[in-house]
Amino acid sequence: MNATAFAVNLAVTAAVALAVLLAAFAVGVRTGRHRGVDVAWGLAFTAVALTGYALSDGSGDPGRRLLATVLVTVWGLRLSAHIWWRARGAPEDPRYARMLARAPEGPPRTRYALRIVYLLQAALVWFVSLPVQAAQYVPHPLGALAWTGTALWAVGLFFEAVGDRQLARFKADPANRGRVMDRGLWRYTRHPNYFGDACVWWGLFLLAADTPVGWAFVPSPLLMTWLLAFGSGKPMLERQLGAQRPGWADYAARTSGFVPLPPRRVRRSPSAPSAGPGP
């Protein structure tokens, strides 16, 4: 790996991630809604990958550079398009409303949003994408580990895309209002999209793990997995669903919280009422 070229790459991609999130911040201030930052999340990863691809020309293996860039771009654009479609015309996301309510209205709240929402996510984009950036500078041809990572990425994309589609169809049916989604992939994990996201980033990490240097970036998928399973992903969403969905407790008792597993058998006393089908 060309250390000097990679160092320059890291500086430029940090600027690119920051630029995308600052653009999203400007839109959020103008519209008064900051949920658009979720759309910018996938776009920022895509911009970082495309920038790394351009800068790594002549430094990394062409096949590995192209593969890493295509995988991130497909994942990032699909995610952004899905979130944009889901959020069009919707009010502020309750997560951001609660978060920003901690600061006084007016300029203090705007500065708080910039610091806590946008700048933090720009830093996360840059850090989580480090294995992808490193993979673009690996000079060796693709090996078994990289193809294993590609297969894991495909599994992750399947869980994300299919899980999102199944949930969207479930919510589109008025008869399911207030009920818990427990069908399809959601029968085996309460969060197929979060599990899929973790698989995507572990798969992308394996593209860089063909070399000892690549293993230095294992904190990136570890952090992403922690955020999804224990940080701002699963716990925050489950608190919200637990308060809104009467059948959530029964669904959570029988369904794996993250890794897909067969549903557990839940014993009920004869007098206990059965919960309705369940997010």
* 179 and 57, same domain (yes or no): no
214-230 pLDDT, tens digit each? 999 999 999 999 999 99
pLDDT cut 70: percent of the chain above it? 95
Q: What pLDDT shows up at residue 192?
A: 96
Q: How large is the angle between the packed helices 219-229 and 192-208, nearest 10 degrees?
A: 180
* 128 and 178, same domain (yes or no): no
Q: Is the pLDDT at 275 greater than 80, yes or no?
A: no
**Whole-number mean pLDDT of the chain?**
90
pLDDT cut 90: percent of the chain above it? 71
75-132 pLDDT, tens digit each? 999 999 999 998 887 888 878 888 888 888 888 889 999 999 999 999 999 999 999 9
* 135 and 149, same domain (yes or no): no
226-238 pLDDT, tens digit each? 999 998 888 888 8
Query: Does residue 269 fall inside a structural domain?
Result: no
Q: Is the pLDDT at 156 greater than 80, yes or no?
A: yes
Query: Does residue 278 fall inside a structural domain?
Result: no
Query: Does residue 68 fall inside a structural domain?
Result: yes
Q: What is the DSSP letter of 200?
A: H
Q: Is the pLDDT at 202 greater than 70, yes or no?
A: yes
* 123 and 212, same domain (yes or no): no
End residue of a domain, out of 108, 140, 172: 140
Q: What pLDDT shows up at residue 268?
A: 56
* 70 and 165, same domain (yes or no): no
Query: Does residue 277 fall inside a structural domain?
Result: no
* 121 and 151, same domain (yes or no): no
* 173 and 129, same domain (yes or no): no
Query: Does residue 211 fall inside a structural domain?
Result: yes
Give the span between the Cα atoms of 143 and 174, in whole angstroms: 49
Q: Is the pLDDT at 276 greater than 60, yes or no?
A: no
Q: Is the pLDDT at 279 greater than 60, yes or no?
A: no
29-64 pLDDT, tens digit each? 998 888 889 999 999 999 999 999 999 998 999 999
- pTM of the full structure: 0.90
Residue 136 and residue 211 in contact, taking contact as beta carbons nearer than 8 Å: no
Q: What pLDDT shows up at residue 231?
A: 86
* 8 and 136, same domain (yes or no): yes
Nearest to 28 by CA among 44, 43, 40: 40
Nearest to 71 by CA among 203, 165, 179, 188: 203
- Domain range for residue 33? 1-92+100-140
* 128 and 187, same domain (yes or no): no
Largest CA distance in the chain: 71
* 116 and 148, same domain (yes or no): no
Which of 3 and 45 is assigned the larger pLDDT?
A: 45
* 37 and 125, same domain (yes or no): yes
Q: Is the pLDDT at 277 greater than 90, yes or no?
A: no
Query: Total domain count for the chain?
Result: 2
Query: Does residue 268 fall inside a structural domain?
Result: no
Q: What pLDDT shows up at residue 233?
A: 81
- Band the pLDDT of 273: cuts 50, 70, 90: very low
Average pLDDT over residues 135-156: 96
Give the span between the Cα atoms of 83 and 77, in whole angstroms: 10
* 178 and 129, same domain (yes or no): no
